[in-house]
Amino acid sequence: MNGQPALLLEGVHKSFGENEVLRGIDLTVAPHEVVCLIGASGSGKSTLLRCVNLVEPIDSGRVVVAGEEITADGVDANRIRRRIGIVYQSFNLFPHMTVLRNITLAPREALGTDHAEAEKSARTLLERFGLLDKQDEYPDRLSGGQQQRVAIVRALAMRPHLMLLDEVTSALDPELVAEVLAVIKELASEGMTMLIATHEMGFARDIADRVCFLDAGHILEEGPPERIFTAPENLRTRQFLGRIIEAGRL
Amino acid sequence: MTQGGPAAPGPSAPGKDPGRGSRALGNRGVLVSSASTVLFFTIIAVVVVLAPGSGVVAERFFSPSHLWQSLVGSEGLPSVLGAFLLNVQIFMVSEVFILILALIIAVVRGIPGPVFFPFRLVAVAYTDLFRGVPLILVLYMIGFGVPGLGLGFVSYLPDVTYGVISLVLVYSAYVAEVYRAGIESVHESQNAAARSLGLTRWQSLRFVVLPQAIRRVIPPLLNDFIGLQKDTALVSVLGSIEAARAAQIYGASEFNYASYVVAALLFVLITIPLARFTDRLIARDKRRREAGALA
């Protein structure tokens, strides 16, 4: 599989009724690459991630993950989702389960991992992210930052080839953002392939190998963060970043 | 309202059960509520005692010897208490089947996809039909109709079995709707999170959605079961001698209605614990929600 992109999108279109959210997205993510999607709310960042995870069926185009076209007919969506981790803005932990059970549920039920084995690797992950003492807590006992870190661990427990992060810090109080970003940085340093939709421009600049600016369902501009954030070529990108700088967010 | 220890005045301490009103009332509140309760029941008692027929009613309904006789039974007459055990059995057996059948109906009703349309249709038709038809008519139709068909052993079951079948059919329709409300109250993001992890639709339902849904609907479920406990009396129309029927037999042969009072008390006695238990669960849920909102 060497030389193959981890993720390839070709001419992806997606509409919700009259509203065309993705208007032909072409994007390649290389293995171990971290790509950040930036753009205003409603520009299609979240929809793009949901299409890659097959939560939303696409209207046309194709999505290829590690050489396999996952949007082809007859592909088992569950099998694909097991290889792609997604973390949402709103954590979505299962409130009736302890942290440990939240993490081990999918490995046990979807991968058929042995109970003890699943718990062991869950504890290893929790320890790595400083959450081991929370393993028996229920999610509503945790802070937002802790919940989001557990959600990331839950996705990692499936040993995904690719992680999709959808505005994972947007629902957090400002003082809790850093702990979540630190986790993502660690993943990046370990070579996890990630596609990250974010409003945290400073974070995108730090972590991304490449930044894509989305506007009205198109990728208008992409490139290394140093260039996108300092010398954007596209007028819309300049306007968007101008507003961000005005708001003091960069 | 017996106030054993010192009543804690002011707001109840956190961790104590705020569902118990008297602790929060304070001494003065307890005094006022006791006085008004005594006054209220005194007025009712005075009205009943002063009624022109009160002597007759006292004898017909509250004669101690008849109360006792009908409770334990006598030669040739069924014991209301003994017959009440049949109500309890009917209730227990029906309850189990209702919980299972209703869950199946609720789940079937929620299966998406055009292939499953006929199943959804059957589930909708079922709930519409059995919520609409009075229980007593279902009892007649099942209890007299099925034996009338002459279909091998299906038509030669004991009367009480047809009673249980009727109760299960009718109550499952109600309980299915309770389940469905619970399932729909679980936010779609929970299902999305489960599916994103690669769990199948069925696994998501089983491990993520249903456990949350059922927890939320336990109070309304118990409420339906309180109704079910009482409706076991209707099975008597098929000839089973349960408590209400035993009371009727006693009343008809002794010309005394103390047996009805006994039957009524038995039903109340068994319903109250369930009602209080339901209240406690509701109070607990309320506390949890409030605690969750604070967090």
Rg (CA), chain A: 18
**Substitution target from B186, B195, B196, B210 for chain A, most A beta carbons within 10 A:** B196
Boundaries of every domain in chain B: 5-50, 68-294
SS3 A204: helix
- CATH number for the segment(s) B68-294: 1.10.3720.10
Q: How far is B291 from chain A (nearest CA, A)?
A: 10
Question: B228 with B202: CB under 8 angstroms?
Answer: no
Residues of B in contact with A96 (CB under 8 A): 211-212, 215
At A102-131, the pLDDT tens digits run 999 999 999 999 999 999 999 999 999 999
> Could you tell me the strand order of the sheet in which A193-197 lies?
A84-87, A162-166, A193-197, A34-38, A210-215, A218-223
At A219-250, the pLDDT tens digits run 999 999 999 999 899 999 999 998 888 887 66
Cα separation of A149 and A128, whole Å? Answer: 11
Closest CA to B227 of B160, B279, B171: B171
SS3 B282: helix
At A126-177, the pLDDT tens digits run 999 999 999 999 998 899 999 999 999 999 999 999 999 999 988 888 888 8
Q: E strand or H helix at A223, and its extent?
A: strand A218-223
pLDDT tens-digit profile, chain B (295 residues):
444 444 444 444 444 444 455 556 678 889 999 999 999 999 998 988 888 888 888 888 888 888 888 888 888 888 999 999 999 999 999 999 999 999 999 999 988 888 999 999 999 999 999 999 999 999 999 999 998 888 888 888 888 999 999 999 999 999 999 999 999 999 999 999 999 999 999 999 999 999 999 988 988 998 899 899 999 999 999 988 999 999 999 989 989 899 999 999 999 998 888 888 888 888 887 777 666 554 4
Q: How many CB atoms lie within 10 A of CB B74?
A: 13
The partner residue sitting opposite A92, judged by closest CB among B189, B211, B215, is: B189
Phi and psi, residue B184, nearest 5°: -75, -20
DSSP A123-177: HHHHHHTT-GGGTTS-GGGS-HHHHHHHHHHHHHTT--SEEEEESTTTTS-HHHH
Residues of A in contact with B189 (CB under 8 A): 88, 90, 92
Nearest CA in chain A to B289: A140
Closest CA to A102 of B194, B281, B88: B194
The structure's pTM equals: 0.81
Per the DSSP assignment, residues forming a β-bridge with A215 are: A218
Q: How far is B12 from chain A (nearest CA, A)?
A: 24
